[in-house]
């Protein structure tokens, strides 16, 4: 029977890498602008001008939060759109740039540990015969994708390198700045993108220091609304990163993303990025404290029956990827028994067959460990008391 305690009646949330609740300040800004900035931002009368100014403020906040300028920020429906937009734009740019010069397909370099919003569109274009793709694996000894392996994959027809900034399942942080530096030294025309969905608000993010041409921002990972933004270096400037329309309509967002702007969520996103960047050190310290307490408690109580994945790698301060060793401890089955808290699993089981996360396997985690993995990700408000209740329930479920 599940443990009967306060943890069973008041659920503790430990899946902040999946999504986050709205910050109260962000929620207030969204609600306020739903009623006060409802005008069409393309209109010249006061109601429209007010909405336009709200969007301009949010663009400034978003840009400042990642060390960019406002003119290089476009708002999107979310991270999936932003990632697909980068991929389709760089493919189109290669085709236009190399017309009659080369019969080679555009070549894109990515990794085996990307989010589906990168890996699936790349696989789609490859299956259609439109591009060649190299998926660089994680270096087994170092626990992350190495810059040298990325650079060694460059071909004469390489147009884009896209590498996730921090993996959502293990928290492993990729060396984006080093990758950018070496790639540009090898071939300065290769464009570089990183999906920073998991990084913002947990570690410092500065596009200048990272050396990227594109960067994806996702609101619901940083206590904001479920929209996103895309940074494009030098947008519409000579020598800037290219961006092409993916659909057509009005002239909104620099005539690149048509459609009347979603003013209130955009205002919320700007504030969420501002809060996340201004307080990143404070948030990171708080999340790391509770994450470290979680891992200490688990190690003390489970001893050799617990394994931490990628713990030796540079990783996000809030992420614990942990496996409980033994039979009938598959993550998928364990999650179904948990009553007092929410988390993610590293496996999916159907018809008595357990299939671990492919991402975990790509991190060279053994099959049986990956199958028994849970991902526990702490948040800004997670407390030591929360962690103690979580560990107590796990002990009740797993220890005799």
For residue 33, pLDDT beyond 90: yes
Does a structural domain hold residue 192?
Answer: yes
Residues 330 and 255 both lie in one domain: no
Looking at the fold, whether 270 and 387 belong to one and the same domain comes out as: no
Q: Which of the listed residues 256, 278, 300 is the one where a domain comes to its end? A: 278
pLDDT digits 0-9 by tens, 58-112: 999 999 999 999 999 999 999 999 999 999 999 999 998 876 566 789 999 999 9
Residue 1: the pLDDT is 37
Asked whether residue 115 falls in the same domain as residue 226, the answer is yes
Which residues are catalytically annotated? 349
- The answer to whether residues 363 and 138 touch, using CB atoms and an 8 Å cutoff, is yes
Q: What is the pLDDT of residues 278-326, one digit of tens each?
A: 999 999 999 999 999 999 999 999 999 999 999 987 999 999 999 999 9
Which residues make Cβ contacts (< 8 Å) with residue 163, sequence separation at least 6?
Answer: 110, 111, 114, 145, 150, 174, 176, 179, 192, 193, 194
Q: Which two tokens stand for residue 387?
A: 């962690």
Average pLDDT over residues 184-208: 98
Domain assignment of residue 220, yes or no = yes
Q: How many secondary structure helices (H) and strands (E) does the chain include?
A: 15, 15
CATH classification at residue 305: 3.90.1150.10
Assess whether 292 and 348 both reside in one domain. Answer: yes
The residue-averaged pLDDT of 188-192 equals: 97
Mean pLDDT score, 201-227? 98
In a shared domain, residues 84 and 120: yes
Identify whether 1 is part of a domain.
no
Task: Tell me the pLDDT band of 5, cut-offs 50, 70 and 90.
Answer: very low
Distance CA 140, CA 362 (A): 9
**Residue 251, burial from CB neighbour count under 10 angstroms (0-12, 13-18, 19+):** exposed
d(CA 287, CA 381): 8
Residue 256 lies in a domain: yes
- State which residues form the domain around 381: 6-16+280-398
Beta bridge partners of 344: 375
- For the chain, what is the domain count? 2
Element (H, E) at 341: strand 341-342
The Cα 388–Cα 356 span in angstroms is 27
| Whether residues 265 and 293 fall in one domain | no
Residue 3's alpha-carbon distances to 287, 296, 302, in angstroms, are 26, 21, 18
Domain boundary among 227, 247, 278: 278
219 shares its domain with 287: no
Q: Are residues 265 and 374 in the same domain?
A: no
What pLDDT is stored for residue 119 in this prediction? Answer: 97
Do 103 and 124 fall into the same domain?
yes
∠ CA 74-181-66, nearest 5°, is 30
Domain assignment present for residue 90? The answer is: yes
Strands 373-377 and 319-324: antiparallel
Cβ contacts of residue 81 below 8 Å, gap of 6+? Answer: 228
**Measuring CA to CA, which residue among 223, 217, 191 is closest to residue 90?**
191
Q: How far apart are CA 266 and CA 342, in angstroms?
A: 29
Query: Which is it for strands 228-232 and 214-218: parallel, antiparallel or unpaired?
Result: antiparallel
Q: How far apart, in Å, are the Cα atoms of 8 and each of 4, 45, 326?
A: 6, 54, 25
Report the half-sphere exposure of 300 (CA within 13 A, side-chain side). 9
Q: Are residues 117 and 152 in the same domain?
A: yes
Instruction: Among 278, 302, 328, give the residue marking a domain's end.
Output: 278
Asked if residues 272 and 219 have their Cβ atoms less than 8 Å apart, the reply is yes
Is 290 in the same domain as 228?
no
Q: What is the pLDDT, as a whole number, of residue 232?
A: 98
Q: Which CATH number covers residue 252?
A: 3.40.640.10
Residues 269 and 343 in one domain: no
């Amino acid at each position: 029977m599940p443990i009967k305690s306060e943890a069973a009646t008041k659920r503790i949330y430990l899946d902040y890498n999946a999504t986050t609740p709205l910050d109260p300040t962000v929620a207030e800004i969204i609600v306020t602008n739903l009623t006060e900035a409802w005008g069409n931002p393309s209109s010249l009368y006061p109601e429209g001008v007010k909405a336009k100014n709200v969007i301009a403020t949010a663009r400034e906040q978003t840009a400042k939060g990642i060390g960019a300028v406002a003119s290089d920020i476009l708002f999107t429906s979310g991270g999936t759109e932003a990632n697909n937009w980068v991929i389709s734009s760089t493919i189109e740019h290669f085709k236009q740039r190399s017309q009659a010069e080369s019969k080679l397909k555009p070549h894109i370099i990515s990794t085996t540990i990307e989010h589906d919003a990168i890996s699936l569109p790349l696989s789609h274009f490859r299956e259609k015969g439109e591009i060649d793709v190299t998926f660089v694996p994680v270096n087994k000894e170092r626990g992350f994708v190495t810059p040298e392996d990325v650079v060694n994959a460059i071909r004469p027809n390489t147009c884009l390198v896209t590498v996730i900034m921090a993996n959502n399942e293990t928290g492993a942080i990729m060396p984006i700045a080093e990758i950018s530096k070496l790639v540009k030294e090898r071939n300065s025309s290769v464009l570089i993108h990183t999906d920073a969905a998991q990084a913002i608000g947990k570690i410092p993010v500065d596009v200048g220091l990272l050396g990227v041409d594109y960067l994806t921002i996702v609101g619901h990972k940083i206590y904001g609304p479920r929209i996103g933004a895309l940074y494009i270096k030098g947008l519409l400037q000579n020598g800037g990163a290219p961006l092409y329309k993916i659909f057509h309509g009005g002239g909104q967002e620099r005539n690149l993303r048509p459609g009347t702007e979603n003013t209130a969520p955009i205002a919320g996103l700007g504030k969420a990025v501002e809060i996340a960047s201004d307080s990143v050190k404070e948030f990171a310290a708080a999340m790391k404290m509770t994450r470290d307490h979680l891992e200490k408690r688990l190690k003390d109580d489970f001893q050799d029956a617990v394994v931490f994945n990628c713990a030796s790698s540079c990783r996000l301060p809030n992420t614990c990827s942990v496996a409980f060793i033994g039979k009938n401890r598959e993550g998928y089955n364990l999650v179904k028994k948990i009553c007092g808290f929410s988390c993610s699993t590293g496996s999916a089981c159907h018809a008595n067959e357990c299939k671990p996360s492919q991402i975990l396997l790509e991190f060279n985690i053994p099959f049986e460990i990956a199958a028994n993995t849970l991902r526990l990700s702490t948040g800004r408000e997670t407390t030591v008391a929360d962690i103690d209740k979580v560990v107590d329930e796990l002990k009740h479920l797993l220890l005799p």
